[in-house]
């Protein structure tokens, strides 16, 4: 795998209390691995997170294939499927799926550069949130690199609508996310709304631990189609007409809408740069999130790219 050979200043490890207040690009301090199960394949899945040079971006590497072109850049151009998860593929159709939770952790913590060695076609689901990935990263720490961050600044409103489902990006001096979650079938949970300003600190405390969810009545149908073969109450919230099936209950009273924001943070990371703007969504999912990023990135009047040496971006402060 060929990576850009960057000449960078020595890395400086950031103390956890500092958050990501600097204006320099970041990566992790040392490699770290985790093992789990693919929520859709039901098969064992593991990955190794490795530091990467400045201006690398986030790269997935299918180490199980033993072939030359097994590298997939985390970028909207490589999105091939958004059915129940986000799947990326390169020009040789080498793919990796369920990338959104890890990408949410990286985007939420402000990590710019990383290589992810994956031993199969799907990332491990862990507990269904981004919390485990955040904990992993915190055990090794984050380091600054000798290159300034680049920020994609939203310049005008961009929206995607599908019936009563919609997503929108608007200009904003901070990174904002808001979402309304309306349940379209009987459930004892109330409709949910959540809004917050994204920083590493707020992501850790408000969003990272929110788990994916689904209705237990859909399990057999989805499994017959090859989905959620590895889903259990250990890695997802199960909902029924009678409420939450998980014996431990919810981590937040509005955990479902927080997870929808988590997914959006991960999907918007596929722009390739941190997005400075306000995201809002209503009953949307990976499909509309992807279409929104694609619409933004294919409209040159919708955004500008700035370097943090030129402008202070308060929303990246922890």
Active site residue 286: yes
Q: In the beta sheet, which residues pair with residue 193?
A: 180
The DSSP 8-state label assigned to residue 203 in this structure reads I
Q: In the beta sheet, which residues pair with residue 161?
A: 166
Instruction: Return contacts of 88-92, CB within 8 angstroms, 24+ apart.
Output: 88/60
- Cα 211 to its chain centre, rounded Å, is 13
Asked whether 45 and 122 are in contact (CB, 8 A), the reply is: yes
Catalytic hit among 132, 259, 282, 286: 286
CA distance 195 to 258: 9
CA distance 26 to 82: 28
The gap between the terminal CA atoms of the chain, to the nearest Å, is 33
Active-site residues, by number, are 286
């Amino acid at each position: 795998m060929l990576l850009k050979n960057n000449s960078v200043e020595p890395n400086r490890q950031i103390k956890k209390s500092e958050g990501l207040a600097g204006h320099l690009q970041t990566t992790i301090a040392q490699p770290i691995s985790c093992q789990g199960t693919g929520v859709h394949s039901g098969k064992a899945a593991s990955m190794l997170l490795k530091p990467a040079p400045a201006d690398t971006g986030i790269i997935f590497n299918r180490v199980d294939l033993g072939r030359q072109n097994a590298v997939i850049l985390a970028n909207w151009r490589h999105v091939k499927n958004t059915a129940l998860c986000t799947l990326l593929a390169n020009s040789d159709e080498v793919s990796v799926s369920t990338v959104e939770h890890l990408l949410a952790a990286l985007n939420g913590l402000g990590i710019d550069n990383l290589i992810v060695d994956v031993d199969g076609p799907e990332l491990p689901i862990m507990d269904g949130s981004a919390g485990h990935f955040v904990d992993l990263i915190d055990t090794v720490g984050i380091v600054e690199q000798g290159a300034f961050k680049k920020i994609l600044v939203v310049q005008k409103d961009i929206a995607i609508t599908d019936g009563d489902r919609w997503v929108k990006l608007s200009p904003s001096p901070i990174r904002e996310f808001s979402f309304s979650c309306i349940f379209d079938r009987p459930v004892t949970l109330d409709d949910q709304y959540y809004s917050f300003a994204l920083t590493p600190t707020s992501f850790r405390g408000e969003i990272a631990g929110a788990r994916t969810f689904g209705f237990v009545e859909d399990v057999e149908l989805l499994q017959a189609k090859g989905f959620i073969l590895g889903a259990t109450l250990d890695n997802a919230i199960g909902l029924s007409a009678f409420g939450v099936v998980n014996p431990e209950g919810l981590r937040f009273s509005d955990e479902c809408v927080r997870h929808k924001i988590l997914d959006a943070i991960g999907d918007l990371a596929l722009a390739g740069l941190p997005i400075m703007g306000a995201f809002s969504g209503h009953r949307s999912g990976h499909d509309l999130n992807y279409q929104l990023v694609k619409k933004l990135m294919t409209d040159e009047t919708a955004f500008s790219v700035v370097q943090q040496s030129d402008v202070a971006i308060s929303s990246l402060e922890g």
